Amino acid sequence: MGRQFFVGGNFKMNGTIKSIKDIIQNLNDAKLDPNTEVVIAPPSLYLLLAREHLRKGLEVAAQNVFDKPNGAFTGEISVDQLKESGITWTILGHSERRVILQEDDKFVASKTKAAVDGGLSVILCCGESLEQREAGKTIEVVTTQLKAVADKIQDWSKIVIAYEPIWAIGTGKVATTEQAQEVHAAIREWLKKEVSAKAADETRILYGGSVTEKNSSELAKQPDIDGFLVGGASLKPAFVDIINSNQA
């Protein structure tokens, strides 16, 4: 049994009640590849709205979760609060949070452990800056980010890795098919060496970074690319084409 193709839509800080209802209606009405797992991540204010309207079989993710069960943590959401609301996934370690909010590898790992221990599934993001890529440090940076998580958890069955080169997020620049496949293969090799052969075989590794319906089919053909984490394009009708790109 191969790895199930996976497409996540990260809405980031975008959307209104109307626009998110429209996106969900489009997904509900579309003929989606039944072999592709689909998860959307609206802003936290709209998580319940999304879960209420999204059809069964499609899941909802938070864009963040805190690593404590409850308490005086203004603005944060706990694992249990998400689970009680029918939210089954969370995105963690996104470069925007690492860069803008200064979340370090240790904090991302702590949140990942809290989420997994609490029964949530995690889209764990990793990626390098343009300077790091040009310095030849891509694999080192990405595996260091992943190692922080591996130091805290053993079971990777609820984790999907999203490789997102920072220089390709929202810039219109896309890693070439070869560049993306090369890093995905290196991540899989690292999993095999540092975690287990089982984790390497079964963990899905997504590509994120200016994915569109124009480049998704070619990327989907690569042996180590198991799907996508989509940003801006997930707000558009063409998101359906990306979800179906493994059929092309």
Residue 1: what pLDDT?
A: 55
* pLDDT beyond 80 at 14: yes
- What pTM was computed for the model? 0.97
- Residue 204: what residue type? R
DSSP 8-class letter at 3:
P
* pLDDT beyond 90 at 37: yes
- Range list of H helices, the chain: 17-29, 47-53, 79-84, 95-100, 105-117, 130-134, 138-150, 177-194, 197-202, 216-220, 239-243
CB 106 within 8 A of CB 67: no
Q: Annotated catalytic residue: which of 37, 59, 128, 164?
A: 164
Summarised one tens digit per residue, pLDDT across range 215-246 is: 999 999 999 999 999 999 999 999 999 999 99
- Residue 95: what residue type? S
Residue 248: what pLDDT?
A: 64
* pLDDT beyond 60 at 117: yes
Residue 56: what pLDDT?
A: 96
Q: Annotated catalytic residue: which of 94, 128, 184, 213?
A: 94
234 CB-near residues (< 8 Å, 6+ apart): 8, 9, 10, 11, 23, 40, 242
The overall average pLDDT reported for the chain is: 96
Please say if 140 is a catalytic residue: no
* pLDDT beyond 90 at 170: no
Please say if 94 is a catalytic residue: yes
All domains in the chain, ordered by first residue: 5-243 (3.20.20.70)
* pLDDT beyond 90 at 169: no
Chain centre to alpha carbon of residue 124: 6
> 41-50, 72-81, 105-114, 207-216: which has the minimum mean pLDDT?
207-216
26, two tokens: 């489009």
CB 245 within 8 A of CB 217: yes
